[in-house]
Structure 1
Amino acid sequence: MKLFHKIFLCFVVIFSITFQIVGYLLINYAYGNAIEQEKELAFQEFQYNKYILQSILYAEPDFFSEREAERAAIAKNFTVPIAVYGIDGEYFFSNMALLPEGIALDEREDDRISFQIYEKEGEGYIFVCDYISQGGNEMYLITQTDISSVIKNQKDMITYFQKIYLSFLCISFPVIILLTKAITASIKEVGTAARRIAGGKYSERIPVKGKDEVSELAADFNQMAEQVEETIVKLSDVARQKENFAANFAHELKTPLTSVIGYADMLYQKDMPRDQVKSAAEYILNEGMRLESLSLKLMDLFVMDKQDFSLEEMSVKEIFASLKQGIEPVCQKREVRFHMEMADGRIKVDYDLFKTMILNLVDNSIKADCKDIWVTGKANGSIYQICLEDNGKGIPPEELGRITEAFYLVDKSRARKQHGAGLGMALVSKVVDIHGARMKIDSDGKNGTRIYLSFMQKGEDE
């Protein structure tokens, strides 16, 4: 059953139950008041007829014991049907069409008057009974008051009320339908939006109106949709990067292997001058070195994804003093001036990974045909920031977002000549993540590159 039908039925049931309860209470209240009024009237009639009976007994004390034949003649003296019983329950006289059943005839001392309401087949009566003592006579007087009209009015009120109920129910049906539609409209919007999102429209949102529970549901749905959209975008990026990785990896293998096979076949099939043999062998050597670099960096990437690393607290000055010994000879060989100025500080690192990261960054700067490399470090509150700057060719601003993708090369021809595989910055990004650090790259594509690495200092992340 749909929510619309459930809400509609709930409205109808609640309306019906409320209407019937209110009607029942009103009719019972009106009936109770009418019965109370009839009781008062019956009591007044009883008192009046009691005085009449006492008058007869006062005038003729032996009327019921000696003048049995004349008892029926006194009926016209009473205003309502009566019955007279002796103190022992002996029947004396009655002009009632219906005698009461089970009325108490033993209340002589407590001065209480007995009432009994009798209903049968649409007729109703109030019987009033009391003890009478007059002129040495003791007896019980019972009067009968007809209340059939009250019972008939009650039944007429019930019938009339049911007609009103059915009329109101028919009139309220359109109102209930409109209210139900208004309540379920927002929920239908959620369902529609969910189906559209399932169909690929991840930017779908629901307008939030008001501050009720349905509006909160819409707000929560929008928040969920935003998370889904962000996740889908991330997954799409990951899938695209994987596709690019596979395509680039295949290309990076195919291109050098094709040339290597070609040159090797030429050396095998033909007798060539020594200078041509030397040139072919040099090409094979260069491509082999590039493939070796590619395989080593790929292995590093896979190891980083699957291994847990233990970070140790170390002095930044000591780390770079050790690194400088390996960096300076490389820079001197390529005629690059290396400058370093590190402030004191302590950070948690894996030394081997940290060294790999810095060497890759220096290698990238050298490959960018720079003349100078500056490495500086300074503490800024809870952060220790390392900046590596060069005056090489730089990175175009539109390429900065993809620079950390595996196999991505800004200048493919220059990178291949220098045995580059496009994995250096991917390794750097992975090492930065392992250390819980942040990396920022600035470049205008003309005046070199600046890379900022921010690490938490000792004690600040605990």
Structure 2
Amino acid sequence: MMSVFLKIFLSVITVTVLSFSVCGHTIIGLEFHSNLQNEFENSKSESITLRNALATAVYNQPHNGEISLSGLKKVANNIKISTASGDLQFAVSDEDYNLISKNTNVLPDDTAPKNLENETQYSSVCADENHYYAVTTVKTAIDGRIVYLQNYFDITGVFEQKNRLYFILQILLPALAVVIGGVIFVFSKLITTPIKKLSSAEMEFAKGDFSKRVKIKGSDEVSRLSENFNFMADKIEENITELKDAVKRQEDFSGNFAHELKTPLTSIIGYSDMLRSKKLSQEEQFCYADYIFKEGKRLESLSKKLMDMMVLKNEKSDLNPVSTKYLAESVGDSVQPLLAEDNINLLINVDDCIVSLDSDLIKTVLINLIDNARKASKSGDTVELAGSSTYEGYLFEVKDYGTGISEEDLPRVTEEFYMADKSRARKQGGAGMGLALCKKIAEMHGGELKVHSKQNEGTRVEFLIREESK
């Protein structure tokens, strides 16, 4: 298949050479015909001179009546006419085109029509071995006798000039083709090289190198095409990266889920086996039963949160007007026993507004956030629950002054099963599902969940509900 470069190169060369060839031949032809017409006019002028000179010579020749053919021949043989180009060459024929006299070796031109009107000039071209002549034939009356006069004007120079110009054109055309070819080669390369680079980048991109990009130079159509390719490549790479991350999260989810199920089940089976197969003291029985109870509760919590996640993915929440102050007090009542066990205080500072929301789901979010704050705090600390109306909607905030979250863990805290401190989370019955569940509930309410934290300083979680009516 012919490349774009070769198509451009051959097309431009062909069109250029043909155009110059046609133009050259046209100009040379026009110049030749113009020069030929000028020479015909000169020949006609000499024809008039010949007629006048011959008529004068016959008039001066003594004779009675119409001059005889022999007398006309004698006069024609003796006449000599000088012009700017030399002696005038001519021939004299009778009315039947029989030659009477001539002073040239050029054969008479017998192509002139026999029925020429008197004093009408007829121009033609004749040639011998080395010369070209403009021949003017005229029918005229000399002293009452009808004769044909032909004069021969040398126009070899006109034909030589034409041949010389054609020769020059034949030399110039190949040279022009080489020069134009070089220029077109350079320009074609400049045009097609970016296209080749773009094609190469597309091929590598198709093979899986999604980081491949095209360097953009200039602002022409090819540059804009390259820019569009880079934009498309960025979007595709972005989507592929997101897909890879989604696959990795799914794999992590499956692995973590299997691990989270295995750990409590192993403990339950192990302690149950010990209770079943060994003779234990009452204290040991209570201790093992307590382990079984705690692991069972953690398994129950994990199952419940997984079920909540599945429900949230498939259902839309039912939004109803709710008082934010009433909701906060209800949450406070629910978490008070947990906070009291760890000697942690809850400070509620909520602006009372009527907001359209799913009270059960929002309560789940706030309880989860406060429970997380409790787990990160030490005895005697305070957890704050705040709520305020903003131009975007209604904003809930839960803040603690506990251990905080590292910068490395912060971007991943809303992923399913992710736990910044796995040992502490499992010890306190966590499964890494709380913030992931809260995030999905926030998104269902048209809002978002933001986590701000510094290690050893505390954590502040913002939960925005966009749909609000006061």
* Length-normalised TM-score, structure 2: 0.76
Aligned match of 2:450: 440
Within 5 Å, which residues of 2 pair with 1:351-366?
Answer: 351-366=359-374
Aligned length: 449
Instruction: Single out whichever of 66-75 and 344-353 deviates more from structure 2.
Output: 66-75
What is the CA–CA distance in structure 2 between the aligned matches of 1:379 and 1:243, rounded to whole Å? 40
AA matched with 1:337:
N
Once the two structures are TM-superposed, the CA of residue 270 in structure 1 deviates from its matched residue by 4.2
Aligned match of 1:321: 326
Aligned match of 2:31: 30
Once the two structures are TM-superposed, the CA of residue 422 in structure 1 deviates from its matched residue by 0.7
Specify which of 331, 339, 349 is matched with residue 336 of structure 2: 331
1:243 aligns with 2:246: no
Instruction: Single out whichever of 381-390 and 254-263 deviates more from structure 2.
Output: 381-390
1:56 to 1:197, Cα distance in 2 relative to 1, 3 A: same
1:442 to 1:114, Cα distance in 2 relative to 1, 3 A: farther
Once the two structures are TM-superposed, the CA of residue 450 in structure 1 deviates from its matched residue by 0.6
Aligned match of 2:384: 374
What is the CA–CA distance in structure 2 between the aligned matches of 1:313 and 1:142, rounded to whole Å? 121
Kept in 2: contact 1:45–1:80 (CA 8 A): no
Structure 1, unmatched stretches of 5+, are none
What is the CA–CA distance in structure 2 between the aligned matches of 1:121 and 1:383, rounded to whole Å? 109
Instruction: Single out whichever of 139-148 and 277-286 deviates more from structure 2.
Output: 139-148
1:322 to 1:67, Cα distance in 2 relative to 1, 3 A: same
Specify which of 401, 412, 424 is matched with residue 414 of structure 1: 424
Once the two structures are TM-superposed, the CA of residue 408 in structure 1 deviates from its matched residue by 0.3
Aligned match of 2:8: 7
Q: What SS does structure 2 have at the residue aligned with 1:451?
A: strand
Kept in 1: contact 2:324–2:353 (CA 8 A): no
What is the CA–CA distance in structure 1 between the aligned matches of 2:283 and 2:359, rounded to whole Å? 45
Kept in 1: contact 2:376–2:402 (CA 8 A): yes
Instruction: Please identify the structure whose Cα radius of gyration is greater.
Output: 2
CA shift digits 1:360-394 (9 cap, x unpaired): 22232233236433222333434543322123332
Kept in 2: contact 1:347–1:456 (CA 8 A): no
1:32 to 1:434, Cα distance in 2 relative to 1, 3 A: farther
Once the two structures are TM-superposed, the CA of residue 403 in structure 1 deviates from its matched residue by 0.6
Between the two proteins, what is the percent identity of the paired residues? 31
Structure 2, unmatched stretches of 5+, are 82-87
What is the CA–CA distance in structure 1 between the aligned matches of 2:412 and 2:113, rounded to whole Å? 103
CA shift digits 1:138-167 (9 cap, x unpaired): 999776656454344323322321222213
Kept in 2: contact 1:331–1:366 (CA 8 A): no
AA matched with 2:14:
V
1:325 to 1:12, Cα distance in 2 relative to 1, 3 A: same
Within 5 Å, which residues of 2 pair with 1:201-240?
Answer: 202-240=210-248
Kept in 2: contact 1:129–1:140 (CA 8 A): yes
Once the two structures are TM-superposed, the CA of residue 266 in structure 1 deviates from its matched residue by 3.5
Q: What SS does structure 1 have at the residue aligned with 2:408?
A: helix
1:365 to 1:47, Cα distance in 2 relative to 1, 3 A: farther
Aligned match of 1:424: 434
What is the CA–CA distance in structure 2 between the aligned matches of 1:131 and 1:346, rounded to whole Å? 124
Once the two structures are TM-superposed, the CA of residue 442 in structure 1 deviates from its matched residue by 1.1
Once the two structures are TM-superposed, the CA of residue 233 in structure 1 deviates from its matched residue by 3.2
* Length-normalised TM-score, structure 1: 0.77
Aligned match of 2:85: none
1:293 to 1:329, Cα distance in 2 relative to 1, 3 A: closer
CA shift digits 1:389-425 (9 cap, x unpaired): 1233322232111111111011212222333211111
AA matched with 1:167:
A
What is the CA–CA distance in structure 1 between the aligned matches of 2:383 and 2:114, rounded to whole Å? 120
